[in-house]
């Protein structure tokens, strides 16, 4: 029976899941693939404190070099996370002719170009199915399943932490702070939740999806990012009353030779399949010119779901490595699949140029003519109103608010109108702007 030798760097949550899955399902995987997967070495700084199960049969080391230096290891699996030393380990493994697998979205978003270029040069493969939406095989879908399509749109709920918080706010009426505290208690949010709640984690994942969907290589500044901090029950209430659900979406859209990339809270029609994605679940909606609408759903994080994605990379790369004609390792084109990742010259659309519908809420001082002047200003900027609802919150202090749903408009025009409205002095506080994603 064919055998592939593996080395694992990082025995944290996901690394432990990979070892566990290999132990529990190794025989089944062997039956299905005809390949024996031999995990030879595990490297982790805290390896000797590991107590979850016996690590008999593996060669253990505190240092990654043990994996990197072992010529027998054909696939190196990096699961330590973070930027450095993960980047250096991956590059060293590639230089030494090993195929590599990672679930490290932050690293790929920042240094994917460097990593893929070196892998191409050396002739090895990079597996990264675990880097976006955990167990959901969205990388495979974009690279293979929908490969024949021009992708028109990708819209994902690809951060489980924020989806959990927004679900609790919508279903239990919790404030943002209370929902975050609950997510932290249940282990769905980190003690420092910034990366998730500010949208950065979703932006890392969107960057990877954008490369596969549109052939582009975005820098961080090419993606507009807003998180969920500061969302209120008033936003949720408006969504409910108007047939929407409030979600943190990562959107990639191709429009007239441009690619727009953005992460922000969005009103999703309640009938859209993304609206039914609750709690910590993830889903990615993809529209191709031939496939039309498709959607993929599952757990975006967690030990075994992410381990399942990592194992799928191990199996796929092993099958290709074993079944491709053998040659001298390290020679270009030798055993690796060749796919051009960055094939597009499309430019990125600045956020001001996007065209969508908007929900606007203006906290106003209730004064004669307030509604009239506000709607007139919007009209002057070419922003057409689809629905308007004005209410007095407190007659004694003359506090009111005006909620508006616009038709499609250019964001730059909406922003200019909002600035002019603020200049009239009728606002008590800054307006709320939430984009609608139909
Ligand atoms: N906090 C992240 C999430 C972890 O919930 O999606 C996986 O990237």
139 within 8 A of 133, measured Cβ to Cβ: no
For residues 140 and 208, give the distance between their C-alpha atoms in angstroms, rounded to a whole number: 12
For residues 246 and 33, give the distance between their C-alpha atoms in angstroms, rounded to a whole number: 43
For residues 63 and 46, give the distance between their C-alpha atoms in angstroms, rounded to a whole number: 10
Question: From ligand 1's centre to the CA of 223, what distance in Å?
Answer: 19
- CA torsion sign for 344, 159, 104, 22 is negative
Q: Where are the domains of the chain?
A: 2-134+302-321, 138-300, 352-436
For residues 401 and 374, give the distance between their C-alpha atoms in angstroms, rounded to a whole number: 11
Question: From ligand 1's centre to the CA of 230, what distance in Å?
Answer: 20
96 within 8 A of 68, measured Cβ to Cβ: yes
Phi first, then psi, for residue 194 (nearest 5°) are: -55, -45
15 within 8 A of 302, measured Cβ to Cβ: no
Domain 2-134+302-321 has CATH 3.40.50.720: yes
Q: Whose CA is nearest to atom 6 of ligand 1?
A: 159
Q: Whose CA is nearest to atom 1 of ligand 1?
A: 161
Q: Whose CA is nearest to atom 7 of ligand 1?
A: 301
DSSP E strand boundaries for 69-134: 75-78, 99-102, 126-127
Cis before 85 (ω within 30):
yes
Question: From ligand 1's centre to the CA of 159, what distance in Å?
Answer: 5
For residues 160 and 90, give the distance between their C-alpha atoms in angstroms, rounded to a whole number: 27
Q: What residues have CB less than 8 Å from 47, skipping those under 6 apart? A: 11, 55, 60, 61, 62
Q: H or E segment at 352?
A: none
List, in sequence order, every residue forming a beta bridge with 43; answer none if it has no partner. Answer: 9, 61
Q: How many alpha carbons fall within 13 Å on the CB side of residue 164?
A: 25
Q: Whose CA is nearest to atom 4 of ligand 1?
A: 301
Fold of 138-300: Dihydrodipicolinate Reductase; domain 2 (3.30.360)
List, in sequence order, every residue forming a beta bridge with 258; answer none if it has no partner. Answer: 255, 347
The pLDDT assigned to 333 comes to 47
For residues 110 and 84, give the distance between their C-alpha atoms in angstroms, rounded to a whole number: 12
The pLDDT assigned to 335 comes to 56
Atom number in ligand 1 closest to CA 105: 8
Phi first, then psi, for residue 393 (nearest 5°) are: -85, -35
| pLDDT per residue of the chain (438 residues) written in tens, 0 to 9 | 899 999 999 999 999 999 999 999 999 999 999 999 999 999 999 999 999 999 999 999 999 999 999 999 999 999 999 999 999 999 999 999 999 999 999 999 999 999 999 999 998 999 999 999 999 999 999 999 999 999 999 999 999 999 999 999 999 999 999 999 999 999 999 999 999 999 999 999 999 999 999 999 999 999 999 999 999 999 999 999 999 999 999 999 999 899 999 999 999 999 999 999 999 999 999 999 999 999 999 999 999 999 999 999 999 999 988 876 544 444 444 556 677 899 999 999 999 999 999 999 999 998 889 899 999 999 999 999 999 999 888 878 889 999 999 999 999 999 999 999 999 999 999 999 999 998
Pocket-forming residues, ligand 1, beta carbon under 6 Å: 159-161, 196, 201, 300-301
Name the CATH superfamily for 352-436.
ACT domain (3.30.70.260)
Q: Is 205 tagged catalytic?
A: yes
270 within 8 A of 244, measured Cβ to Cβ: yes
Q: Which of 98, 105, 205, 247 is catalytic?
A: 205
The pLDDT assigned to 332 comes to 45
For residues 412 and 296, give the distance between their C-alpha atoms in angstroms, rounded to a whole number: 33
According to DSSP, residue 328 is labeled -
To test the pocket of ligand 1, the residue of 301, 303, 305, 306 to mutate (highest count of ligand atoms within 8 Å of its CB) is: 301
Q: What is the pTM of this model?
A: 0.95
CA 261 to chain CA centroid, nearest Å: 12
Question: From ligand 1's centre to the CA of 171, what distance in Å?
Answer: 21
364 within 8 A of 402, measured Cβ to Cβ: yes
The pLDDT assigned to 324 comes to 65
């Amino acid at each position: 029976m064919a055998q592939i030798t593996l080395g694992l760097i990082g025995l944290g949550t996901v690394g432990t899941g990979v070892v566990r899955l290999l132990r529990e399902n190794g025989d089944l995987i062997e039956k299905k693939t005809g390949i024996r997967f031999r995990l030879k070495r595990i490297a982790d700084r805290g390896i000797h404190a590991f107590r979850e199960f016996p690590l008999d049969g593996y060669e253990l080391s505190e240092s990654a070099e043990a994996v990197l230096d072992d010529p027998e290891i054909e696939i190196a699996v990096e699961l330590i996370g973070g930027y450095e030393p993960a980047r250096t380990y991956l590059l060293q493994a590639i230089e030494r002719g090993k195929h590599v697998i990672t679930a490290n979205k932050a690293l790929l978003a920042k240094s994917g170009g460097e990593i893929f270029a070196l892998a191409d040069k050396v002739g090895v493969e990079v597996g990264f199915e675990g880097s976006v939406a955990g167990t959901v095989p969205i990388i495979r879908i974009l690279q293979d399943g929908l490969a024949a399509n021009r992708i028109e749109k990708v819209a994902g709920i690809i951060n489980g932490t924020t989806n959990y918080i927004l679900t609790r706010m919508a279903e239990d009426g919790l404030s943002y702070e209370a929902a975050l505290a609950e997510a932290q208690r249940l282990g769905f949010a980190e003690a420092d939740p910034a990366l998730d709640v500010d949208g950065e984690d979703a932006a890392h994942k969107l960057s990877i999806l954008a490369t596969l969907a549109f052939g582009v290589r975005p820098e961080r500044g090419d993606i507009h990012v807003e998180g969920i901090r500061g969302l209120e029950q008033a936003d949720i209430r408006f969504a409910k009353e108007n047939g929407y659900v409030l979600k943190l979406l990562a959107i990639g859209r191709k429009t007239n030779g441009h690619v727009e990339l953005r992460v922000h809270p969005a009103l999703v029609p309640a009938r859209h399949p993304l609206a039914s994605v609750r709690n910590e679940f993830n889903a990615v909606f993809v529209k191709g010119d031939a496939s039309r609408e498709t959607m993929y759903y599952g757990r975006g994080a967690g030990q075994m779901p992410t381990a399942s994605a990592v194992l799928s990379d191990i199996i796929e790369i092993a099958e290709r490595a074993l079944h491709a004609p053998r040659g001298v390792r390290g020679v270009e084109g030798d055993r690796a699949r060749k796919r051009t990742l960055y094939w597009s010259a499309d430019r990125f659309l600045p956020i001001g140029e996007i065209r969508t519908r908007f929900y606007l809420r203006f906290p106003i001082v209730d004064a004669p003519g307030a509604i009239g002047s506000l709607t007139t200003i919007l009209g002057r900027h070419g922003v057409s109103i689809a629905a308007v609802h004005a209410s007095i919150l407190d007659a004694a202090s003359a506090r009111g608010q005006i909620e508006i749903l616009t038709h499609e408009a250019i964001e730059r025009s909406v922003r200019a109108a909002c600035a002019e409205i603020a200049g009239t002095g009728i606002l008590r506080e800054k307006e709320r702007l939430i984009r609608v994603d139909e």
